[in-house]
Amino acid sequence: MSKQLKLNPRVAYVLGIYAYNKGTKATIGVVTKSNEIVQRFVKVALDDFKILPNKILIEAKEDEIQAYFYNSKLKKLFDKALERKERLFKYMNDYSAAYFAGIFEMKGGSDSNGLYIRHLDKGDAMLLEKIGIHTEAKGSKTYIKNARTFMTFIRTVSAKIF
């Protein structure tokens, strides 16, 4: 395995999921209510990371589905990529769209105040600002001020379009 993560939009999507849905120890996974998100995660794990099908664990708990696998080398590559996210996702392109779509899948939603991402990291909020997506933090939620622009930006990647 290389010393750097081979980034493409599918990998950037899983990196966004990983950034806000970290497992324990050496796990990379997703916990969601959406079958589609689990299917996307599994497809990337099989196709891009070459994880064997029997190594991907899927568990249903109440109304959520958890899919994950153990891979300490890949986890280290993910952590290194997140350390470089200011350089990786500084442009409004497919890579950044996929990364923020992954984040939105894990922590996004909408309420009477608009579209938001819960517990958005300050670095990610700054990245959104740099690419023209304006945000405003209110408590644990960071609201997207230009929600239409954001939704158009992640539309081709996100499974969670309202």
Per the structure block, which two tokens stand in for 47? 């196709």
Q: What's the pLDDT score for residue 158?
A: 83
pLDDT category at 123 given cuts 50, 70, 90 is very high
- Model pLDDT for residues 47-63, shown as the tens digit of each residue: 999 999 999 999 998 89
**SS3 labels along 3-27:** CCCCCCHHHHHHHHHHHHCCCCCCE
Q: What's the pLDDT score for residue 24?
A: 58
Rounded average pLDDT over 117-141: 96
Per the structure block, which two tokens stand in for 159? 């499974």
Range with the poorest average pLDDT among 24-33, 52-61, 140-149: 24-33
Domains of the chain (ranges plus CATH)?
9-86 (3.10.28.10), 90-154 (no CATH)
Q: Residue 92 has what DSSP assignment? A: S
Q: Cα separation of 27 and 10, whole Å?
A: 18
Statement: residue 1 has pLDDT above 70: no
- Model pLDDT for residues 35-93, shown as the tens digit of each residue: 999 999 999 999 999 999 999 999 998 899 999 999 989 999 999 999 999 999 999 99
Read off the pTM: 0.92
Statement: residue 23 has pLDDT above 70: no
Tell me which H or E stretch contains 56. Answer: none
Helix 147-154, helix 94-107: angle, nearest 10: 110
